[in-house]
Structure 1
Amino acid sequence: MHTLLALVMVAAGPVPVATTGLDWQPCGTEKGVSCATLTVPVDWARPRGATIGIAIAKREATDQAHKVGTLVFGPGGPGDSGVDRVVGNAGRFRDLRARFDIVSFDPRGVGGSSAMTCDPVLMQAAPDPVLTSAKQFQETLRHNRELWADCERRTGPVWRHADTLSTVRDVEALRKALGERQLTFHGSSYGTLLGQEYASRYPGRVRAMVLESVTDHSSRDTASFLSAQAWAFEDAFDDFLATCPECAEPWQRLYADPGRGGMTRFDLIAITHKLLKDGEYERLAALIKSGQGQHVRLDVVIPAFCADWSLPVHSYADYRRILRQAERVAPDTHFPAQAFALTMCLGWPHVTNPQHDLDVRTRVPLLLLNSRHDPATGINWARNVERQLGSRGVLVTYEGTGHGSYSLSACMREIADDYLVDVTVPARGISCPR
């Protein structure tokens, strides 16, 4: 137990039943790791229609006699593989492996769960993520429509049903198949949106839920979405500049003329975002001082992201207005890497899960974890989600940098593990030192 904090105790809830509806088979190279396939409808509105298989992986608890139950991990992205996390990277939950079976999955459209397939030539031909003319705006619209039609032909009907609300139904089916009366869940990054939506739809089924690196899905329009991301990027960049004040001027020179470093302007923003996200301040300083950058792809599963976010941009003039608003929020960094989402989803025809305020009525408060300086999921997002949750949410802050505070701080990990094992809810306002 974490003895240094004031804590509120909540009963842990019922012990899970032992039945299972999955055919587990050994996979990977380690003992106690197995894989299965969960069959679910492609379209949950048509439960007797076409089906897809969701790839599942499990790592058995090392102390079965004292096992609490099953911990389901919600991967990020959208596009990360939960199966790979369980089979090949067990270190993340090393202190929980005695008390829980660790289970995760490839969300629909990812890896072993009907992965999205598109023409690689069309994918490579995508326009620059930062648009500079009305002509490029129209070319992007045309390219997107051609690409999406090709992807849907190759991928099949799951292309139109890869949104988070569909994945929520998959997780509920997984809970039932695991024989768990209630869900114990740890979602990271985009997996926090999955957790929020699950808790909204199935509040009585939540035993404990950790949301790490928190996504806020309440932005009402495109400009507020991008400005919130711009604030987080600027905040993380300014934290970096406090360690390297001499980096400010050469970074701005690179921004003004990125071609001399073999980059586009978006390349500079993207590599800066990635190194800030990974807490790689020394590498970022070296890159800036050398003036030599690199190309970074920020891949996500298109129909998962675009179906979850209504980010309309009506014209090139509208696009420029949105970016100018972001630059007013972030005068040092100009615009965030997430600007690529505007062009990636430009013209998307069917948003099935648009932004909305949370309505969560779980008995146990959700535990939110976030770094103070995270360019991907900023503390501004985490605070706004805590505000929406009210008494049903408690935010713990890591007073450092980087994305994924559970893996960055032993203090954060201990608080989260106590909560998951015993449903021990920390007092409001707790933080962990850098």
Structure 2
Amino acid sequence: MVFRTMFCAALAAALIPAALVGCTSASSRTPSPDWRPCQENAEFDCATVTVPIDWDSADGATIDIAVVRDKADDPGRKLGTLVSLPGGPGGSGVDDILKGGKFSPELQARFDIISLDPRGVKRSHPLRCDAGLVGHRPNMVPGLGGRIDEVRSYARDLAASCREHTGPLVDHLDAVSVARDVEALRVALGVDQLSLYSRSYGTMAGQAYAELFPRRLRASLLDSVDDHSLDGRGFFASEARAGQDAFEEYTAWCERDETCTLHGTDVHRVYGELFARAGRGELRDLAKPERVLDPMDLSTKVTQRLYNPDWAGLTTDLQALTAQPPASPQPAAAQRSGEPTPTPEAIFCADWKFDITDQDDWTQQWHEQNSNTPTLRAHFAWAAGTLCSGWPTPPQNLPHRPRTEGTPPILVLNGRHDPATPLEWATRVAAQTPDTTLLTYDGWGHGIYSRTPCTTSAADHYLIDLTVPAPSTHCPAA
């Protein structure tokens, strides 16, 4: 495989964006994907694309990226290729397509829809770390005795185990590398331009592709977008506010709707009591009763119920946890088991930087979390960022303001009450990225494309006709 083509493109994008098209002329030397019916679902085609582990060492070791294709249902009206980048980190784009995809019949008719498992995920050389360490993280709550030096020691041990079980790819999992993998896919497909749909964490690679290969974009739709201009403190604060906002929307529903089985109950107090019990090690995971549910696990479980949102399911969870008898004391933290387990969550450390100087600084940032989300105490991003603060390998894709020039008009979709990618992120990305329009869904949940006919129609018109909605367009809540 010849990778010099993509390096030339990246260099041109960084130095002289207008030179990009002329730079990538050797696509004929990149083998086309060997499409074959997918073993898991023969309705779709599967293949792999070979890419270097380190894009700065094109002649070094390689990995295979798993890709899937849903061919256009109406070839006579086909507009081109739509590449879908999944969220996560850890989402499988191959699984998304094999399970039926997320796109409208009109998009399925007009595009070859292609997705992938990003590097480090599932079929694409998964990031694997020691199962014993993954299953027993240290105390992440300074207010409950957590120590930042213990977190840093754990992060070093975990990273070493990831390197042992994954190899050198552990240092090359960032969104820029994924964007370059997408460019390798484009070259392999032999198409001049891609339409790109990216969702949640996938928007990190979507934005990176726009920076590196603007002339290769026909369209780019960023659904529930990450704001990569934030420093660690800003990331923590905005995530905490998003979690609190989404929880307040849930409690407001429960107060006004008698079908909520906690109707008439102080739901904030219910959560506070559960958080205290989790801090004492008294709760068990509802899905895995053999596991103790610690405070950060509780925050994660609750926040994830707000993704759809599934308010009734969250109510059931809170009631079930409240009814649990106290669990037995948590066993001591496990040592290495020697057995690997997929750990795509650690990919997060390749793209974000969190500076925590010492115990006092960590405690101060914890108090800031509490003030931004007084009910939840902390967003689940707190644990991920704290872990990354001690990760021994610096992030390869440092946070920065968008650096785009020469892209087509870009469309951003975001919900008003998103617990994971807050509307303030989308507003800032749209303001900082030239020729970008934000469409706001005035409802709840994470992931906007298929929320309502309004959101789907606006996105489809953009991807098909390249028509962006008017500035400040809103779709009403369902």
Q: TM-score, normalized by length of structure 1? A: 0.89
Instruction: Tell me what 1:384 maps to.
Output: 428
For 1:347-362, list aligned pairs within 5 A: 347-348=390-391, 349-362=393-406
Change (3 A) 1:160 1:363: closer
Instruction: Tell me what 1:318 maps to.
Output: 361
Structure 1 CA distance for aligned equivalents of residues 304 and 101 of structure 2: 23
Instruction: Tell me what 1:399 maps to.
Output: 442
Change (3 A) 1:94 1:31: farther
Aligned length in residues = 412
> What residue identity is the alignment partner of 2:79?
V
Structure 1 CA distance for aligned equivalents of residues 268 and 156 of structure 2: 40
Change (3 A) 1:303 1:326: closer
> What residue identity is the alignment partner of 2:271?
W
Instruction: Tell me what 1:279 maps to.
Output: 309
SS of the equivalent of 1:236 reads helix
How far apart are 1:138 and its partner, in Å? 1.9
1:411 equivalenced with 2:454 (yes/no): yes
1:229 equivalenced with 2:239 (yes/no): yes
Structure 2 CA distance for aligned equivalents of residues 98 and 208 of structure 1: 17
Q: TM-score, normalized by length of structure 2? A: 0.81
What are the superposed Cα offsets for residues 242-274 of structure 1, whole Å, 9 maximum, x if unpaired?
112332332233234345554432232112101
What are the superposed Cα offsets for residues 165-200 of structure 1, whole Å, 9 maximum, x if unpaired?
111111111111112211200001001111111111
Structure 2 CA distance for aligned equivalents of residues 135 and 192 of structure 1: 33
How far apart are 1:161 and its partner, in Å? 0.7
For 1:13-412, list aligned pairs within 5 A: 21-28=32-39, 30=41, 32-132=43-143, 136-220=147-231, 222-245=232-255, 246=265, 247-258=267-278, 261-262=283-284, 263-292=293-322, 301-348=344-391, 349-390=393-434, 392-412=435-455
Structure 2 CA distance for aligned equivalents of residues 331 and 144 of structure 1: 28
8 Å CA contact 1:32–1:60 kept in 2: the answer is no
Structure 2 CA distance for aligned equivalents of residues 23 and 235 of structure 1: 47
**What is the percent sequence identity of the aligned residues?**
38
Unpaired runs of 5+ in structure 2?
1-26, 256-264, 285-292, 328-341
SS of the equivalent of 1:244 reads helix
Change (3 A) 1:150 1:264: closer
Change (3 A) 1:350 1:91: closer
> What residue identity is the alignment partner of 1:359?
R
SS of the equivalent of 2:456 reads helix
SS of the equivalent of 1:45 reads coil
What are the superposed Cα offsets for residues 39-91 of structure 1, whole Å, 9 maximum, x if unpaired?
11111111111111111111111111111111100011111111111222335
8 Å CA contact 1:206–1:362 kept in 2: the answer is no
Aligned-pair RMSD on alpha carbons? 2.2
> What residue identity is the alignment partner of 1:366?
I
8 Å CA contact 2:353–2:389 kept in 1: the answer is no
Structure 2 CA distance for aligned equivalents of residues 283 and 36 of structure 1: 38
Instruction: Tell me what 1:12 maps to.
Output: none
Structure 1 CA distance for aligned equivalents of residues 128 and 320 of structure 2: 38
Structure 1 CA distance for aligned equivalents of residues 351 and 415 of structure 2: 24
8 Å CA contact 1:254–1:291 kept in 2: the answer is yes
> What residue identity is the alignment partner of 2:348?
F
Unpaired runs of 5+ in structure 1?
1-17
Change (3 A) 1:291 1:118: closer
SS of the equivalent of 2:109 reads coil
How far apart are 1:355 and its partner, in Å? 0.7
Structure 2 CA distance for aligned equivalents of residues 244 and 93 of structure 1: 32
Structure 2 CA distance for aligned equivalents of residues 130 and 409 of structure 1: 39
8 Å CA contact 1:212–1:370 kept in 2: the answer is yes
8 Å CA contact 1:72–1:183 kept in 2: the answer is yes
SS of the equivalent of 1:424 reads coil
Structure 2 CA distance for aligned equivalents of residues 141 and 154 of structure 1: 20
SS of the equivalent of 2:196 reads strand
Structure 2 CA distance for aligned equivalents of residues 135 and 186 of structure 1: 40
How far apart are 1:319 and its partner, in Å? 1.0
My pick for the range that moved more, 123-132 or 253-262, is 253-262
SS of the equivalent of 1:198 reads helix
